[in-house]
Chains A and B, each alone.
Chain A
Amino acid sequence: MPVYKTPTRDLRFVLYELLGAENLASLPGYESATPDVVLAAIEQTGQLCEEVLLPLNARGDEEGCRYENGAVTTPSGFKEAYRKFAEGGWVGISCDPEYDGQGLPQVLNFIVSEIACGTNLALAIYVGLSQGAYHGIAAHASDELKRRYLPPLATGRWTGTMCLTEPHCGTDLGLVRTRAERNEDGSYRVTGTKIFISAGEHDMAENIVHLVLARCPGGVPGTRGLGLFIVPKFLPNADGSVGLRNLVRCSGIERKMGIHGSATCVLDFEGATGYLVGRENAGIVGMFSVMNLARLAVGMQGLGLSEVAYQTACAYAKERLQGRALGAPAFPDKPADPIIVHPDVRNMLLTMRALTEGGRALAHWVGYAFDVALRHPDPAVRQEHDDLVQLMTPIVKSFLTDSGFEIANLCLQVHGGHGYIRDHGVEQLVRDARIGQVYEGTNGVQALDLVGRKFSQNTGRLLRRFFHPVDAFIAAESHTPGMEPFVSPLAKVFGRCQQATLWIAERGLADPNEGAAAARDYASLFGYVALAYLWARAAKVARTRLAAGQGEDADFYRAKLATAGYYVQRILPRATAHAAALAAGAEPVMAMAAEAF
């Protein structure tokens, strides 16, 4: 069965030894976010998730959600678990205290997500969508709408959704047909069908706040005629209690590969009353700000699953006795050695660990930058960090979900035939992990976002926020004794990434197919380089701590160094393969005629 202990030691390392997150408390509004408070919050959420969410995970998968007559019943126990989670204040952990949130940093919210997703992804999805809806309303809606909708979302009394997809309209949102018409009182009537709506209907909260993308009255075709609307399941009364049932109806839920506990709904809006968020025809802007946060949140899903998969595989590899270590037996007194003695198993475990810990550093590096971009008093500093967040969002989403699936798959592999049996709960991880690569913009779309929008924005200024610090780090550390094994492989792939970037910029100008054909390999290359940078920084910290003689923590730092070494020597070579592949250009991709397939 899946094993999960909250990785508090590694989280502490990432926050306070690698990133310097003690500075969070010096950002205006985050005065209370001292290391004590943040670490205590991690302890508490970890305990709740381990004790309440984790035991429900397999049951949720087996039972799934049930649909009957417009209503959705979540798996048994979900309702109670959700209530505990909400009552702990975890839904609104980084929401504004003015709207009943906890006012803690966003990076802490990402950590809570990581843990919740690691213990029960299906349940955590409901929370993620509430946060998305909260964010969209907070960023763009009028004060009146904010006062009405934000507090119940922040406290978890209500949940939220994002309604974009329609039967004929997925990635290409310009095709949206759902339409909004003006009512005399300033509200709108929203009509149309939305599909793939996570948390679109369920029994865990008294109301559901749908954020709906719909065509405005007279809106032009394409994305520029769209508006963003709040459509509540129940129209709220003036006192905040729920009133009349709105004309939005769940007409079914999808049967899916994984995340069975998460209700994926078809929603019919039949002239439902809606309220405009922001301006007419500016809906896509509002939706993007929700989506950017949602993409980072999906990255946390990949990360959480990586952690549970690694721990589960590790536990199994230590207790499963099978065969003998090559050379001399490790445990001659036992009938066989635990499989962890085998190089193949060790390779798998180290790959899982290096990608998970590296991914964690990446995720919370970006999360921390998110907070600086939000709160720093100097606008130039805010801009720099916002640039970094924008640049890294597609990387966090795609790299962490790609590695999430790879790691879940490796976990199954370590289990051998038992991994394929449902009772072990391991194959569920593989199925649950798969969706991350697909939704919120497939990882192919993330890669296009990276080489398209993120490259071209301000003539590549966003890239500066990654490449310049890495360049400076390499320059500063290339002669530091003992750092050569980490810095030199980093410098090598960093050079390839620079070359690839210029190659795409130059070629892509002449032929957009070149940029598009290179995108996926480029995004992977970028991700591996980012992890190499963070692993090299981690190695520097570990070496410094060990040199200072860290008694009981010495094992932790030694393991860090070993994992860093494994990453740069055994995983990082993948980056070179991606660089070589993309440099072959679009020709081999486009050469064959469509009819020949």
Chain B
Amino acid sequence: MTAIKKAAVIGAGTMGSAIAAHIANSGVPVVLLDVVPPGANDRSTLAKAAIAKLAKIKPAAMMDKRVGALITPGNIEDDMSRLADADWILEAVVEDLAVKRGLFTRIQEARRPGSIVSSNTSTIPLRRLVHGMPEDFARDFMITHFFNPPRYLRLIEFVKGEKTRADAVETLRTFADERLGKTVIDCHDTPGFVANRIGVFWLQTAMRAAMDLGATVEDADAIVSTIFATPKTGVFGLVDLVGLELIPYIGKSLAATLAPEDPCRAVLEVPGVVKRMIAEGRTGRGRGAGFYRLSEQGGRKVREAIDLATGEYRPAREPAIPGLKGAESDPRAFLGRTDLAGRYAWRVMSATLSYAAMLVPEIADDIVAVDQAMRYGYGWKAGPFEIIDRLGAEWFAGRLKAEHRDLPALLRTPEPFYRTENGHRTQRTHRGHLRIVEPEGVLRLAEAKIRNRPVLSNSSASVWDIGGGIACLEFHSKMNTFDRKTLSLVRKTVDYIPTNFRGLVIGNDSENFSAGVNLGLALFAANVAAWPAIESMLKEGQDAFRAIKYAPFPVVGAPAGLALGGGCEVLLHCDAIQAHAETYMGLVEVGAGIVPGWGGCKELLARWCARKDRPQGPMPAIAQTFETIALAKVSTSAAEARELLYLGANDAITMNRDRVLADAKAKAIALAVNYKPPVPPTFVLPGPTAATAMSLAVDDLVKSGKATPYDRVVALALAEVLSGGDTDITETVTEDTMLALERKAALTLIRNPQTLARIEHLLETGKALRN
């Protein structure tokens, strides 16, 4: 097996360039080629323009600004020779068979033997792509279908041909999994592969059913939504997000390739209103208007929705469906409702789920692949077979039967699709229930939970045995926020580990690591003037995190997603961090009108002070820490967290979300050998003179309108902490003093009405108030 050390992407359109960026995110250099536009001065202008655009698009395609340097632009006239040392050549040009085949012939001439060639096609069958191509090309060729945006959507569909080398597939599989962080599913060479085949059917069915039954887009989106584990945007909201023009595009290719009797054909006809919207350029959020839009009316933003009957906008309405709240706890009951909402839900979900059941094993070998495709390609929280299990496979089949509908073979067996047997998850196959085998190095708490009861647990956090003498501390309150129970379990864990485990990992399976302290409870405490309760909460947090830091065993933080405020602070106290590439870390407390009070100021300052390449004297470290906290900088990736020093020399990054815990566990095992807790830092800080210097800088920002007067109050409190309070350069400041300064600053600030207004606003709108 050859590893991928260098790659090439041909086709610098939206997908090609973003895939190139993501390959570069993994640290692999990549060549990006496109055609030479007629009359162009710069013959590589297309690729160059694409790279320039990559640096600007939102959400960002590149994980940090240095990634761009790994992408080399070129054109297919002059630079085909650069393919010679590429291990993987990915084609992402226009979906035109003749163009692709012409390109493949040229690639075949330029590439080195044994390199892998793949196409990112979403619509052209592999057998047609390789038809008539030389034998060695066909052996090295496959389809690797990414989803947009490739950095963020986890799915890659692999399609291999009869002749494709198995080791080529495995090489790309390993690279896609470990380096690109993707979930690979193996698809058969069938129209639309897996995700789009079911996804387009679902979208079209849902849109048409809304029109047939007379449901509004708002109602439809509230119904086919979180209740059934499909995206909370709803179908119309989702189509706005991906772009309306995509629907007829994929639909057309499906129409050309699907079997005549395929049920999907019946829903492929694009509704008139959608056609009209596309013709008028109202193709979704990208164009500022789709099924929904924001319009200015008298200086106020008003959300509007399309009236499906007239195609005109009208003010969006709150869905007027009783019993929506909490309906996800019993989706089956919702499907049994006889009102419009129930009928709509049943029409869409019954059609979609039975269509999915009909397609296995036609489109993929097993149901796991289908469920993963819908989860990672279309943002469902559960795949179709997982949803059927939630409803009850027998109940679902029974109702289809009662309605005299065709029962797919898979639904004729009244058994759940997934089970737990002997501590392992199994899936139903034509050979009975078989254990689901995860790739080596994949570890999810979900599996530990099947096998064991938690070692310690309360309503906010739990500790699990993840093997190898390592325990995992999981936060599981809403958004994994910290309350008293979280902190008390942290303390218990630190006491419990030494006699039972070698080390500890802090992590979880959820989308976000932690959003920090439960601000709602904190605000409540402040609203009832429970200052002693707030002070003790500050103290308890500091003590708990300090216990982690000085525990007699190694602690490895394993964040993914948001790690904000207290969620960032707990990580700063770990011996090492093994972060998922998509980790958004930051000390964001100033947005709530406070300063980090659980050791965050102290730990970040210590990181900057310990940096070996820094200039002399404490002031540069203080200034850097001050800037990072005062501006509430949040990393947009783990790579960027490194630049902000939230991640340090001991910390590493894992690209695949499912591998974060395993990597963290391995790190904990390694650190456990002869483990010694760290030595408490001491600080030499200038005291009031430094605070004055920072306050002058803040004054300038206030004068120029870049900071508000209350920003100044918060910044000055932060400056006092970071400058060491009432000290001077001849004294040493201990950790205890720093922590006391943090507490004092936080407690002073939280008594201010402006701070309370900031917290209130943050909780209500999710946005920071600039008061």
Contact = CB atoms under 8 A, between A and B. Distances in A.
Nearest to A466: B528
Report whether over half of chain A's contact residues are helix, strand or loop; otherwise say mixed.
helix
A476 to B, nearest CB: 13
B528 A506 contact: no
A459 B764 contact: yes
A501 B528 contact: yes
B533 A460 contact: no
Contacts of A510: 459
A221 interface: yes
Contact of A467 (B529, B759, B764): B529
Contact of B527 (A221, A222, A461, A499): A461
B523 interface: yes
Contact of B520 (A459, A464, A467, A497): A459
A489 to B, nearest CB: 18
Contacts of B759: 459
Interface in A451-469: 458-461, 463-464, 467-468
A461 B760 contact: yes
Contact of B530 (A459, A470, A502): A502
B760 A501 contact: no
A108 interface: no
Contacts of B521: 502, 505-506
Given A458-B764, A501-B530, A505-B521, 5 more contacts: A220-B322, A459-B764, A461-B527, A464-B526, A470-B529
B402 interface: no
A471 interface: yes
21 contacts: A221-B322, A458-B760, A458-B764, A459-B523, A459-B759, A459-B764, A460-B523, A460-B528, A461-B756, A463-B524, A463-B527, A467-B528, A468-B527, A471-B531, A499-B530, A502-B524, A502-B525, A502-B530, A505-B521, A506-B483, A506-B521
A47 interface: no
Contacts of A499: 530
Main secondary structure on chain B at its contact with chain A? Answer: helix
B530 A468 contact: no
A459 B762 CA distance: 10
Contact of B533 (A464, A467, A497, A502): A502
Interface in B451-482: 459
B437 interface: no
Contacts of B528: 460, 463-464, 467, 497-498, 501-502
A382 interface: no
A468 B523 contact: no
A109 to B, nearest CB: 30
B527 A467 contact: yes
Contacts of B525: 502
Interface string B738-765: 0000000000000000001001100110
A463 B533 CA distance: 16
B527 A464 contact: yes
A460 B527 contact: yes
A224 interface: yes
Given A460-B523, A505-B521, A506-B483, A498 B530 contact: yes
Nearest to A501: B528
Give 3 nearest A-B pairs by CB, closest first: A471-B529, A460-B527, A464-B527
Interface in B279-329: 320, 322
Contact of B529 (A221, A459, A468): A468
A460 B320 contact: no
Given A459-B760, A467-B528, A498-B529, A222 B523 contact: no
A224 B320 contact: yes
Contacts of A471: 529, 531
Interface string A495-511: 00111011001100010
A174 to B, nearest CB: 9
A454 to B, nearest CB: 12
Nearest to A219: B320
Interface in B524-576: 524-531, 533
Contacts of A502: 521, 524-525, 528, 530, 533
A222 B320 CA distance: 10
Nearest to A380: B753
B647 to A, nearest CB: 33
A461 B459 CA distance: 26
Interface string A214-252: 000000111010000000000000000000000000000
Contact of B756 (A221, A464, A470): A464
A463 B759 CA distance: 15
B487 to A, nearest CB: 14
Interface in A382-396: none
A222 B533 CA distance: 41
B462 to A, nearest CB: 16
Interface in B205-250: none
Most buried by A among B529, B533, B760, B763: B529
Contacts of A497: 528
A471 B751 CA distance: 12
Given A459-B763, A460-B523, A501-B524, A222 B322 contact: yes
Contacts of A498: 528-530, 533
Contacts of A467: 527-529
Given A222-B322, A224-B320, A460 B524 contact: yes
B524 A459 contact: yes
B329 to A, nearest CB: 14
A505 B521 CA distance: 7
A222 B319 CA distance: 13
Interface in B479-519: 483
A471 B528 CA distance: 9
Interface string A480-521: 000000000000000001110110011000100000000000
Interface string A25-55: 0000000000000000000000000000000
Interface string B163-198: 000000000000000000000000000000000000
A505 B401 CA distance: 48
Contacts of B763: 459
Contacts of B322: 220-222
A463 B524 CA distance: 8
Contacts of B320: 220, 224
Contact of A505 (B459, B524, B531): B524
Contacts of B531: 471
A494 to B, nearest CB: 9
B520 to A, nearest CB: 6
Central interface residue in B520, B524, B528, by most chain A CB within 10 Å: B528
B239 to A, nearest CB: 27
B522 to A, nearest CB: 10
A220 B531 CA distance: 46
Nearest to A504: B524
A471 B320 CA distance: 43
Interface string A179-207: 00000000000000000000000000000
A224 B320 CA distance: 8
Contacts of B459: 510
Interface in A352-373: none
A6 B567 CA distance: 62
A113 to B, nearest CB: 31
Interface in A140-155: none
B532 to A, nearest CB: 9
A464 B760 CA distance: 12
Contacts of A459: 520, 523-524, 527, 759-760, 763-764
B181 to A, nearest CB: 35
A216 B53 CA distance: 54
A246 to B, nearest CB: 31
B769 to A, nearest CB: 13
Residue from the set B483, B527, B759, B760 with the largest chain A CB neighbour count within 10 Å: B527
A222 B527 CA distance: 33
A221 B321 CA distance: 9
Interface in B45-98: none
A463 B764 CA distance: 16
